[in-house]
Amino acid sequence: MSENPSPKPKNVAADSVPSPNAKPPPLPHRPATLSKPPKPMQPPQRSLLIRLFSLFIKAVVLLIFLMALDQLVPSLRQQLQPYATQSWQYMTLMQQELPTENSLPNPLIDRHLTDTWGGARSEGRTHEGIDIFAKRGTPIHATTHGIVQRVGQDRLGGNVVVIAGPGGAGHYYAHLEEFAEINKGDWVDAGDVIGFVGDSGNAKGTPPHVHYGIYINGNAVNPYPLLVKN
């Protein structure tokens, strides 16, 4: 038998074995970076001055704010106080009893009262109150304490005053010659003068008198039974 020749070793490429004299490959090129010089440190004295100046500016702004607030708060308090007072007065009135029979004084002191409620009036209306006659300029007195809701003119009533009284009842005075020194929102007590007898509105040319009406929950009620008779 012939012996098989031993396999020959494979040729190894000459460039796969590094030569002892071969130079290493060059490193990749990196752009040169310039190092930034360090920031110069501020002198301690200058830094302290800047901080002090900043604190001074903040203190001035705070002082201006406090001064403005000191001026604003009393003004707001002054504006809100009437509303707060009036709201408290309304709440107090609503908790009080409505007028009862023979509980209200005559708005024209010592004048005779006649029940004119329900009488026929112009435009198909009926009389929603009573007329109390007196000399022109006679003082008209509030029949109850309460808050003045209206001081002004009305097409039918002429010069009118409306006062919200106990229980929320509205007390209506019409045909006044002129008003007393009262304004909307004022508090009045029973007996205070609110105006003077006249013939304004659709009563022009009639004998001077005051039309007095009472409204409860928006509905007119006869005031005659509620007034004290002489």
pLDDT in tens, 7-23: 554 544 444 555 555 56
The pLDDT, as a whole number, for residue 70 is 72
> What distance in Å separates the CA atoms of residue 127 and residue 175, rounded to the nearest whole number?
14
Q: What does the mean pLDDT of the chain come to?
A: 84
The pLDDT, as a whole number, for residue 48 is 73
Residue 116 pLDDT more than 50? yes
**Which is higher by pLDDT, 133 or 51?**
133
What are the tokens at 141? 């007195």
> What distance in Å separates the CA atoms of residue 170 and residue 113, rounded to the nearest whole number?
20
The pLDDT, as a whole number, for residue 73 is 73
Predicted confidence band of residue 204 (pLDDT cuts 50, 70, 90): very high
Residue 31 pLDDT more than 70? no
Q: What number is the average pLDDT over the span 46-56?
A: 78
Q: What number is the average pLDDT over the span 204-210?
A: 96
Residue 138 pLDDT more than 60? yes
Q: What number is the average pLDDT over the span 80-87?
A: 78
Pick the closest to residue 172 from 201, 150, 145, 202 (CA basis).
Answer: 150
> What distance in Å separates the CA atoms of residue 23 and residue 229, rounded to the nearest whole number?
135
155-175 pLDDT tens trace: 999 999 999 999 999 999 999
Q: What number is the average pLDDT over the span 151-158?
A: 95
Q: What number is the average pLDDT over the span 70-83?
A: 72
- Quick check: pTM over 0.85? no
The pLDDT, as a whole number, for residue 34 is 52
Predicted confidence band of residue 93 (pLDDT cuts 50, 70, 90): very high
Coil, helix or strand at residue 211: strand
Predicted confidence band of residue 2 (pLDDT cuts 50, 70, 90): very low
Q: What number is the average pLDDT over the span 42-70?
A: 77
> What distance in Å separates the CA atoms of residue 140 and residue 212, rounded to the nearest whole number?
10
